Structure 1
Amino acid sequence: MQALTRAEEQLMLILWKLGSGLTQEVREELPEPRVTYNTVSSTLRILVKKGVLEAQPEARNHRYVPLFSKDDYARYLLGHLLENYCDNALQNLLALCVNGSLPLASPKKKKKKKSKKKKRKGE
């Protein structure tokens, strides 16, 4: 699974609420000003290619059905946040939620590498 763009996430939130939907049904749920039908259709097709939605033929349209739940995606996002921003430490994630910031970590000591140019100048 991969993170969704804001536009993709917005459409997924609608589809999770509806359960499934045609392009026009999804578009009608968007807040004003709505993006064009073609934009919604293109984004839904991208989500199918990403393996997030299934497109089921219906008359001359497709009914889009989420392949995973909103809770599954929330778990993925929390895992991603924990791994990439909280050093895989649940206490850091909780501190971020409660305090709005991560605890200050002790600065890592960097090994100093002397370049050949600096050595030559100093000699």
Structure 2
Amino acid sequence: MIPLTPSEEKLMQLLWHRKKALLKDLMADFPEPKPAKTTLATLLKRLIDKNAVAYTTQGSARSYYPLVSKSDYSKSSVSNLVSRFFNGSMAQLASYCTAQDQLSTDELEQLKEIIDIQLKRKES
């Protein structure tokens, strides 16, 4: 999948939430400071060109919808991050995340539980 800019990702978040939306709906949903209508239309055009979004016509209006699921985009983004910064190793990513002092004890416990569950699944 072609990487998206932060602005395109923000717009995709709105589309993933709505599933289908008119430009006016997206404008209403966009957080402050809201972009100009033309800016949003340009972002939608770029997303269409990247095959991330398509539309159907309703009279003179276009109803936009995502072609890429949030799950698939997230998986692709994480894989890209791991490839670029962690030599393709998920273990290096996990090590990096757990070595940071930014995680609370509760968050570390949650990660431990997730790992324990995954290990049990692999053993079955």
Under a length normalisation based on structure 2, what TM-score does the superposition of the two structures give? 0.77
- What amino acid is the match of 1:12? M
Greater RCO, CA 8 A, separation 6+: 2
Greater share of residues in helix: 2
Distance in 1 of aligned mates of 2:20 and 2:37:
17
Consecutive aligned runs of 4 or more in structure 1 exceeding 2 Å deviation:
none
Please give the root-mean-square deviation of Cα atoms over the aligned residues, in Å.
Answer: 1.3
Aligned residue in 2 for 1:81:
81
- What amino acid is the match of 1:10? K
- State yes or no: 1:31 paired with 2:26: no
Unaligned runs of 5+ in 1: 102-123
- What amino acid is the match of 1:95? S
Unaligned runs of 5+ in 2: 102-124
Aligned residue in 2 for 1:44:
44
Aligned residue in 1 for 2:114:
none
Aligned residue in 2 for 1:12:
12
Query: Aligned residues, how many?
Result: 101
Under a length normalisation based on structure 1, what TM-score does the superposition of the two structures give? 0.77
